[in-house]
Amino acid sequence: MKSGFILICGIPNAGKSTFLNMMIGEKISGVTDKPQTTRKRIKGIYTSASSEIQLVFIDTPGFHKSNTLFNRLLNDEIFETTTDIDCFLFITDGSTGITDDEKELLASINELVSKHSKPAIAIVNKTDLGINKEKMDYLRSINLFKQILQISCLTDKTENQKKDKNLEISQKRENISRIIANYLDEQSFFYPEDQLSDISEKEQVEEIIQEKLYLYLHQEIPYKVFSEVLLFKEDEDKIYIDANICCEKESQKPIIIGKNAEVIKKVRLSAEKDLKFIFGKKVKLNLFVKVSNNWTKNKMILKDMGYNIRK
Task: Please report, in angstroms and rounded to a whole number, the separation of the first and last CA atoms in the chain.
Answer: 42
User: Interface residues for ligand GTP in 126-155 (CB under 6 A)?
Assistant: 126, 128-129, 152-154
Per-residue binding letters, 17-56, with Mg ion (x by CB under 5 A): x-------------------xx------------------
What's 253's DSSP letter?
Answer: H
In angstroms, what is the minimal distance from the CB of 300 to ligand GTP?
A: 25
Contact between 99 and ligand GTP by CB under 6 A: the answer reads no
Question: Which residue type is seen at 115?
Answer: K
The contacts found for 172-176 with CB under 8 angstroms, 24 or more apart, are 172/22, 173/22, 173/23, 173/25, 173/46, 174/48, 174/49, 176/23, 176/123, 176/149, 176/151
63: exposed, middle or buried (C-beta count within 10 Å: 0-12, 13-18, 19+)? Answer: buried
Beta carbon nearer to Mg ion, 16 or 135: 16
Stretch that binds Mg ion, among 14-22, 88-96, 100-108, 125-133 (CB under 5 A): 14-22
Task: Give the residue from 11, 6, 14 showing the smallest Cα distance to 127.
Answer: 14
x-or-dash pattern for ligand GTP, window 47-76, by CB under 6 A?
--------------xx--------------
Of ligand GTP, Mg ion, none, which one sits near residue 152, judging by CB under 5 to 8 A according to partner kind? ligand GTP
Q: Which stretch binds Mg ion (CB under 5 A): 9-17, 81-89, 157-165, 231-239?
A: 9-17
89 Cβ contact partners less than 8 Å away, ≥ 6 residues apart:
6, 7, 8, 9, 57, 120, 121, 122, 123, 180
Q: Which residues are at the interface with Mg ion (CB under 5 A)?
A: 16-17, 37-38
Q: Which residues are at the interface with ligand GTP (CB under 6 A)?
A: 10, 12-18, 31-33, 35-38, 61-62, 125-126, 128-129, 152-154
